[in-house]
Amino acid sequence: MTNGHYGPYGGRFVPEALTAALDELDAAFRAAKEDPAFINELRALERDYTGRPNPLTYAKRFSEHCGGARVYLKREDLNHTGSHKINNVLGQALLTQRMGKKRMIAETGAGQHGVATATAAALFGLECTVYMGLEDTRRQALNVARMKLLGAEVIPVTAGSQTLKDAINEAMRDWVASVDETHYVLGTVTGPAPFPEMVRYFHSVIGIEAREQILAVEGRLPDAVVACVGGGSNAMGLFSGFMEDTQVILRGYEAGGDGVETGRHSARFSGGTPGVLHGARTYVMQDQWGQTAPSHSISAGMDYPGVGPEHAWLHDTGRASYEPVTDAEAMEAFAILSKTEGIIPAIESAHGLAGAMRIGKELGPDSVVIVNLSGRGDKDVATAARWFGIDLGATVSNELSPEMREGR
């Protein structure tokens, strides 16, 4: 990585008005990384607030569905707020304070990043505005309520496809106009430099812990580490711990939606091409004219037409590989984990679990696989109930919004 680039990917493609803020952020990030006071403060928050280190759980009964491989779950679902997103947000909230800014804004798809940002804003006494596509506010009504309870303002975005990409557009527009007092807490390893590098850094704790934990329990490195890849932050955090261990397979699983062949998916590496989106060059779902193509996934957090630029480079160099997982495969893994381990995963994470089932069969018995369980599934209960045809019942459904009753 040089100057925010990963081979031809990454960089900064932004309006000039944002250059000064990105330079300021870059300088603050680099200074903070070298400042023991900052690191101590971050580690204390991770320990006392997030609840780190979280466990690496051997999933004995789930492993029986994975070709006999021993599958371990990295339990980001047990973090405060229920996903890995808090790792990045606490780091950026500390930076917001150091830069003397009083307001944080964020985009969110599934709502996990929005909830994490609203949480950190409450903890640090900062103002918070979260942009969320109107379609996603319906799919994830529970998280909208959580953000509001935490004191954040949630702005539904009605432009474009009304999903994550449009929420990012709107957050960028806010930021250009408010940059003096506002920090944009980008939620994944995408966007203009230094965001991809910085967000990876704040999530690297996932990989560091997982590596120590697997060595302690297995006495050896895993054969593969796998994760779902929407923007790619949970995967980048896990992969980073094993990047130099070249014998360890790194595999990311993208949202295959209804199947890549149907065109209704979010599989950038199977169905996209290099392009520029949201400030970075990376793989993008786009038409022949460079217009962003609509993406699809049952999971709001995977429904994004771009991907982190470092993933693009890992893909091209072959250090990591990426495969699509369909909605149906993800939901099958969702059900299996729930029933074999008593853990309901986020549907995003279920794509990684489906991947573990696939790669476990590939690698065979005696292999060791770590899968990042990046989030818990409470937010997805209505969607899953609809998928599996579970009747929520009259009593329950009366307490739910029409959108939730329909599982949207």
Amino acid at 235: A
Q: 168 vs 185, which CB is nearer to another protein?
A: 168
Among 74, 113, 211, 278, binds another protein (CB under 8 A): 278
Would you count residue 3 as binding another protein (CB under 8 A)? yes
Taking the C-alpha atoms of residue 363 and residue 301, their distance in angstroms, rounded to an integer, is: 28
Size of the site for another protein (CB under 8 A): 36
Site string for another protein, 232-271 (x = CB under 8 A): ----------------------------------------
**DSSP string across 148-165:** HHTT-EEEEE-STTSSHH
Binding to another protein in span 359-378, by CB under 8 A: none
Q: Within a 10 A sphere around the Cβ of 244, how many other Cβ atoms?
A: 7
Which residue carries 């979260």 as its tokens? 130
Binding to another protein in span 29-48, by CB under 8 A: none
Q: Take residue 341 and report the two structure tokens written for it.
A: 């381990």
Q: 3 vs 247, which CB is nearer to another protein?
A: 3
Q: 25 vs 73, which CB is nearer to another protein?
A: 25
Taking the C-alpha atoms of residue 238 and residue 224, their distance in angstroms, rounded to an integer, is: 11
Q: Are 200 and 189 in contact (CB under 8 A)?
A: yes
Q: What is the DSSP letter of 305?
A: S
User: How crowded is the C-beta side of 10, counted as CA atoms within 13 Å?
Assistant: 19
Would you count residue 27 as binding another protein (CB under 8 A)? no
Would you count residue 20 as binding another protein (CB under 8 A)? yes
107 is catalytic: yes
Q: Are 193 and 10 in contact (CB under 8 A)?
A: yes
Which residue carries 């939901």 as its tokens? 331
Among 292, 299, 349, 367, binds another protein (CB under 8 A): 292
Binding to another protein in span 150-209, by CB under 8 A: 159-160, 165-166, 168-169, 172-173, 176-177, 179-180
Q: 354-382: string of b/e by CB count within 10 Å (b at 16+)?
A: bbbbbbbebbeeebbbbbbbbbbbebbeb
Would you count residue 14 as binding another protein (CB under 8 A)? yes
Would you count residue 284 as binding another protein (CB under 8 A)? yes
CB of 73 to another protein, least distance (A): 36
Binding to another protein in span 301-320, by CB under 8 A: none
β-sheet bridge partners, residue 286: 292
Would you count residue 100 as binding another protein (CB under 8 A)? no
Taking the C-alpha atoms of residue 278 and residue 169, their distance in angstroms, rounded to an integer, is: 7
Among 6, 21, 272, 341, binds another protein (CB under 8 A): 21
Which residue is catalytic, options 76, 107, 254, 329? 107
Q: Within a 10 A sphere around the Cβ of 31, how many other Cβ atoms?
A: 12
Which residue is catalytic, options 101, 329, 374, 379? 374
Would you count residue 149 as binding another protein (CB under 8 A)? no
321 is catalytic: no
| H-only helix segments in 125-194 | 134-139, 141-149, 164-178
Sites of contact with another protein (CB under 8 A):
3, 11-17, 19-21, 159-160, 165-166, 168-169, 172-173, 176-177, 179-180, 273, 275-279, 284, 286, 288-292
Active-site amino acid positions: 85, 107, 374
